Amino acid sequence: MKYLYSLTLAILLALSAINISGAAVKPQTGGSTAAFGTPIPSEGKETEKITATTPEPAPTAVPAESGEVFNTAGDGTLVVRVVESPEIDTKLTFCAVIISAIAVVISAISLWVSAKLQIRHNRDEVRPVVAIHLDVSNMSVKIKNHGVGPALFEKMIWKNVKNGASADTLEKLLSKEWQKLNLKTPFYIYTKPFAGNLNDPDILAPQEELYFVKGDGVGQPLSQDDKRKLGETFRDVEVQIIYTDLYRKNRWILTKNLTWIAN
């Protein structure tokens, strides 16, 4: 038993020595082989550098488009570089300029049309509407502005269409006829002429009225006989009035025959 223990211990020591000897072995020079069958370069020769080359992956086939350049980086990465085409850029710039010019023209036309419509609207808002009214109850002749803007009179002509006589007031036209009437009751007569001076025009405000003749204008009404006589003087008499609006852009001519009163 003692010898068996000694033998076992000796075997273990031997194995340990073998392992230690194998770990301390260094590569030897001068031979074509080395321990454990690994090739060792011979002494006096340069050691060759062995580099394992990894094959580069083939780039994915991408169809080349206009304006793009494809390159491959060192690590096989596909690099895409966009190149702007000068021709395309010039066309886009030209088209942008044309579109901008058209937009400016359209805007200018729109503003012009809007301004014209606004001016027309403003004129219509202040348009005068003058009418001549005849009244046999009091033997009156008057004009009235039924519009919303003032009427500027340029000219007013009273004339006898039968004999061709004319005057700028009704009083001047019929003064001789009225003197022959010898009426018992006086009546109102408007004697101011409408000169139509541009610096100081005759103006009739909205809803304002003006009498040229009024039978009971002095407080005493005319008798039926006097009304008949006065009405006869209006036979064949016609009045023509020319007036404009506040802007002096529109002109209207109003014509009225007074024979209706005589009848």
HEC string of the chain equals CHHHHHHHHHHHHHHHHHHHHHHCCCCCCCCCECHHHCECCCCCCCCCCCCCCCCCCCCCCCCCCCCEEEEECCCCCEEEEECCCHHHHHHHHHHHHHHHHHHHHHHHHHHHHHHHHHHHHHHHHCCCCEEEEEECCCCEEEEEECCCCCEEEEEEEEEECCCCCEECCHHHHHHHHHHHHCCCCCCEECCCCCCCCCCCCEEECCCCEEEEEECCCCCCCCCHHHHHHHHHHCCCEEEEEEEECCCCCCEEEEEEECHHHHC
pLDDT at residue 88, rounded to an integer = 59
Q: Which of 125, 142, 163 is the last residue of a domain?
A: 125
pLDDT tens for each residue of the chain, 263 residues long: 545 555 566 666 556 555 544 444 444 444 444 444 445 454 544 444 444 455 555 555 544 444 455 555 566 666 666 555 555 578 788 888 899 899 999 989 988 998 888 877 777 778 899 999 998 888 889 999 999 999 999 888 999 999 999 998 998 999 888 888 888 888 888 888 776 655 666 889 999 999 998 887 677 788 888 888 898 999 999 999 999 988 888 889 999 999 988 77
Q: Which of 125, 154, 189 is the last residue of a domain?
A: 125
Buried/exposed code over 68-77 (b: 16+ C-beta within 10 A; e: otherwise): eeeeeeeeee
Q: Is residue 110 part of a domain?
A: yes
Q: Is residue 87 part of a domain?
A: yes
Q: Are residues 152 and 204 in the same domain?
A: yes
Q: Are residues 89 and 209 in the same domain?
A: no
pLDDT at residue 262, rounded to an integer = 79
pLDDT at residue 122, rounded to an integer = 74
Cα–Cα dist 10/170, whole Å: 166
Q: Is residue 229 part of a domain?
A: yes
Q: Are residues 257 and 157 in the same domain?
A: yes
Chain centroid to Cα 16, Å, comes to 103
Q: Which of 78, 106, 125 is the last residue of a domain?
A: 125
pLDDT at residue 89, rounded to an integer = 72
pLDDT at residue 239, rounded to an integer = 93
Cα–Cα dist 129/204, whole Å: 10
Domain hosting 76: range is 69-125
Cα–Cα dist 216/227, whole Å: 10
Q: Are residues 119 and 189 in the same domain?
A: no
pLDDT at residue 184, rounded to an integer = 81
Q: Are residues 135 and 120 in the same domain?
A: no
Cα–Cα dist 101/95, whole Å: 10
pLDDT at residue 15, rounded to an integer = 60
Residue 60 amino acid letter: T
Q: Are residues 138 and 109 in the same domain?
A: no
Q: Are residues 174 and 105 in the same domain?
A: no
Buried/exposed code over 150-166 (b: 16+ C-beta within 10 A; e: otherwise): bbbbbebbbbbeeeeee
Q: Is residue 3 part of a domain?
A: no
When divided into structural domains, the chain yields a total of: 2
Q: Is residue 240 part of a domain?
A: yes
Q: Are residues 136 and 241 in the same domain?
A: yes
Q: Are residues 224 and 112 in the same domain?
A: no
Q: Is residue 212 part of a domain?
A: yes
Query: Please, what sign has the CA dihedral across residues 210, 212, 216, 219?
Result: positive
Q: Are residues 195 and 230 in the same domain?
A: yes
Q: Are residues 250 and 194 in the same domain?
A: yes
Q: Are residues 192 and 91 in the same domain?
A: no
Q: Is residue 53 part of a domain?
A: no
CB 120 within 8 A of CB 247: no
Q: Is residue 89 part of a domain?
A: yes
pLDDT at residue 36, rounded to an integer = 43
